Structure 1
Amino acid sequence: MGYGNQPYIVFKHKNISREHLHIVSLRVDEQGRKINDSHEYDRSMSVLRELERKYDLHPSIKGEELTDKVELHRVNYREGNVKQQISSVVRLCLRNYKCSSYGELRTLLERFNVSVEERTGIVDGRNYAGMIYGALTDDGYGIGTPFKSSKIRKDVGYDTLQKYYGKSKATLKEGGALDRLRQIVRDAMSLRNTRDEFRQLLKADGINTIFRINPVGRIYDVTFIDHEAGIVANGSVLGKEFSTNVFNELYPAFQKEEQHTVEPDRERWHEQRRSAANSLSGIVDTLLDLADARAYEEQQRIRQRKRRQKRRML
């Protein structure tokens, strides 16, 4: 960067929870000449990415210097910095868990108060696909304004997630990958248990069970989250003996259960939200992307004009 022989100060910033370093140097060398700052941002980002690759560091994001948290925590809207909380949760989930479908990822993220929606459509004859992330309250309702995956980065976008699902699916098909989870679930399945007792047995082995239930109390989806193995698997992925029909026979709708499931009204809220969003998603998101592109192009034109004016002055 041209500052190697310059005097500098390194300052450790500790008065906020995120400790970090500032490096302050001089732009004028000992001969009184200004150090070249042409394309400084691009050059600094190139150095940064090289350091990240060399030392296996977590990628940094412009405007979001806080790297991913070491441990997964639920998003807390009241704490602020919601976008960073959500991006941290999403990245850590993708890094530490294997989900072979959008439904499984959605179920996982909801455990950490993050909503995710696929938005697809056709605009001007072209297919459009994107992801929308948002914060949830502890009881599962949306709070605040959701935002597009592009506001985080491509590594949580639609195309990247498709590759992630495929890679996860291939890994889970490897011999023995699901054996432990299948056996633990199989051992807990019993006519003598209630639905809640079944969940508690699995929870003791570090496995969350999420039943999705319709308004009349019938199970229409079951997903298991094995936190120890980092696996999220729908019952259909485990096999026919773990299908929703089997669980409906084991735990019929008339059983009185504690509300640890996805409640019907909450699920209807999700479905209504997704339905309304998908009907407009292609048009709205494409227009937003076009606006972003035009704003960027205009910004680039302004910068080019300023550079030309500066050269003429010199």
Structure 2
Amino acid sequence: MVAVIKTGTSIRRIFHYNENKVSQDNALCIGAENYPADHDKMNVSFKINHLLSQLELNENVKRGSVHISLNFHPSETDLDAEKLIDIARSYMSGIGFGQQPYLVYQHFDAAHPHIHIISIKVRPDGKRIDMQNIGRNQSEAARIKIENDFNLVKAQGRVKEISYGIIPIETTAVNYGKLQSKKAVAKVLDFVLHNYQFRSLPQLNAVLNLYNVSADRGSENSRIFKAGGLVYRILDKEGNHTGVPIKASDFYSSPTLKFLEKKFEQNKLKNQCPGLRIKNAIRNIFEDGRPALPQLSEELDKIGISMVQRISSDGRLFGLTYVDHVTKQICNGSELGKEFSAAAISKKCSDSDSEIKNKASSPQLKALVEIKEILEMKKIPTAGLNEIIQTLFEKEFYCGHIPKEFKRKRKNRKRKGLSNN
């Protein structure tokens, strides 16, 4: 079991996030502890107002909301609602929140079983609960006890599996006509907006495009742009807009331009020097050789980094954006440094095909190049073909020695004004 604890300034946002999952059939509210009634006997307003009324007992607490997720191994499919509630009770008691009001939600939107717990840091007597080092101390002790008591898969020793076994895109990409458009887009937005550290609209789109979604302000002369509006669109396989655009204000979480601009500023403050893992990964790849641009992209994909290429209308590469799915950071190549910009990366990457085309003069070599292009267009493996072409252009070894028999005899020429005596 893996426990993640987050605190925030708005209990409403966390509450509505979970309730929105319930309305989309992606979650269930399975428990309400220290409430005056059972969870299925209370409406939405009563649930949130009970938390707010206790939170208001101490106005000095600015970050009063507590959002906890308990994540279980994918093999643990036998965890029913009753067992999950028992686990939640044991955990909340172990971290000192046993007497606090809290709600438990079982989510179904990931490949592993997990629950979300929302609570507050203010006690019924108005005192604040100290949460300093709670993750390292109380939470860790509670986790180990629960794993033993409930015979769960132990999380300790599985750090490498969690870190390097990450699937970059966890949410299903949106396909127009196959899923309910608004519901599918909302699912993607919930995942991206709450996890990735984007600092501009183009950076946000670099991630959203991986899910076939785009945030669009419209042209500068459009009414949407002038009014400060924002719509979300679904993209087809070619990256073109398809279907009817959905207004940002139509979504339950209201991911409007104003909301995004606040996120931009917050993410800028989170990490002043982003992209350290990205830079180290690219340098390590170039230490082993000069890969072609597609090969560089494939190597980065293997370690959870997507390299998004920005191509102009004439087919020229003018920008690169790197999306790190492990650290959730998004960086433009130019802000990482000159060596990571589109121009520098293009120069570093080998362009064997163009070199071969320039050097190929005989009909046989031109035919080999054309064969290679046809095979790549039809997605047929060309393993070995590139090496054959490169071998044809390799210079033969020349030692500088010429046999005596092949040397031309020099003629003794008599220079004017000079004597041979």
TM-score using structure 2 length: 0.44
Is residue 122–residue 128 contact of structure 1 (8 Å, CA) maintained in 2? no
Look up the SS of the partner of 2:194 in the other structure.
helix
Could you say if the C-alpha distance between residues 51 and 156 of structure 1 is closer, same or farther in structure 2, counting changes exceeding 3 Å?
farther
Q: Which residue of 2 aligns with 1:207?
A: 305
Task: Identify the residue that residue 285 of structure 2 maps to in structure 1.
Answer: 188
1:229 positional shift: 1.0
**Aligned residue runs from structure 1 range 165-180, under 5 A:** 165-174=264-273, 177-180=274-277
Amino acid at match of 1:110: N
Structure 2 residue identity aligned to 1:238 = L
Following superposition, the deviation at residue 114 of structure 1 comes to 0.6
Alignment partner of 1:233 out of 310, 322, 331? 331
Distance 2:197 2:29 in 1: 34
Map 1:228-267; keep pairs closer than 5 Å: 228-251=326-349, 255=353
TM-score between the two structures when normalised by the length of structure 1: 0.57
Separation in structure 2 between the aligned mates of residue 122 and residue 141 of structure 1, nearest angstrom: 21
Q: Is the Cα contact below 8 Å between 2:291 and 2:350 reproduced in 1?
A: no
**2:184 aligned residue:** 85
Distance 1:120 1:193, change over 3 A: closer
Counterpart among 84, 88, 104 of residue 203 in structure 2:
104
1:74 Cα offset (Å) = 0.6
Give yes or no for the alignment of 1:46 onto 2:45: yes
Give the letter for the 1:89 counterpart. Answer: V
Moved more, 250-259 or 192-201: 250-259
Task: Give the Cα–Cα distance (whole angstroms) in 2 for the partners of residues 144 and 229 of structure 1.
Answer: 33
Paired position in structure 1 for 2:21: none
* Matches for 1:6-17 after TM superposition, within 5 Å: none
Q: Percent identity?
A: 24
Paired residues of 1:218 and 1:248 also in contact (CA < 8 A): no
* Bigger radius of gyration among the two: 2
Structure 1 residue 122, shift from structure 2 partner: 8.7
Count of residues in Structure 1 that have an aligned counterpart in Structure 2? 214
Q: Aligned partners of 2:336 and 2:246: how far apart in 1? A: 33
**Alignment CA distance shift 1:198-1:18 (3 Å):** closer
Measured in 2, the distance between the counterparts of 1:202 and 1:122 equals 39
2:317 is the alignment partner of 1:222: no
Whole-angstrom distance in 2 between the partners of 1:52 and 1:79: 39
Unmatched tracts of structure 1, length 5 or more: 1-15, 23-42, 59-66, 260-314
Matching residue of 2:194: 95
Q: Could you say what the CA RMSD is over the residues aligned between the two structures, in angstroms?
A: 3.7
Q: CA deviation digits over 1:189-240, x for unaligned, max 9? A: 4662111111111111111111122344431110111111111111122122
- From the two aligned structures, give the one with the greater helix fraction: 1
Runs of 5+ in structure 2 lacking a partner? 1-23, 31-41, 53-64, 70-106, 111-169, 355-372, 378-421
What does the per-residue CA deviation read over 1:120-170, in whole Å, with 9 as the maximum and x for residues that have no partner?
86999x962111102122332222101110110454110110011111122
Mapped partners of 1:250, 1:107: distance in 2: 23
Q: How many angstroms apart in 2 are the aligned matches of 1:216 and 1:89? A: 31
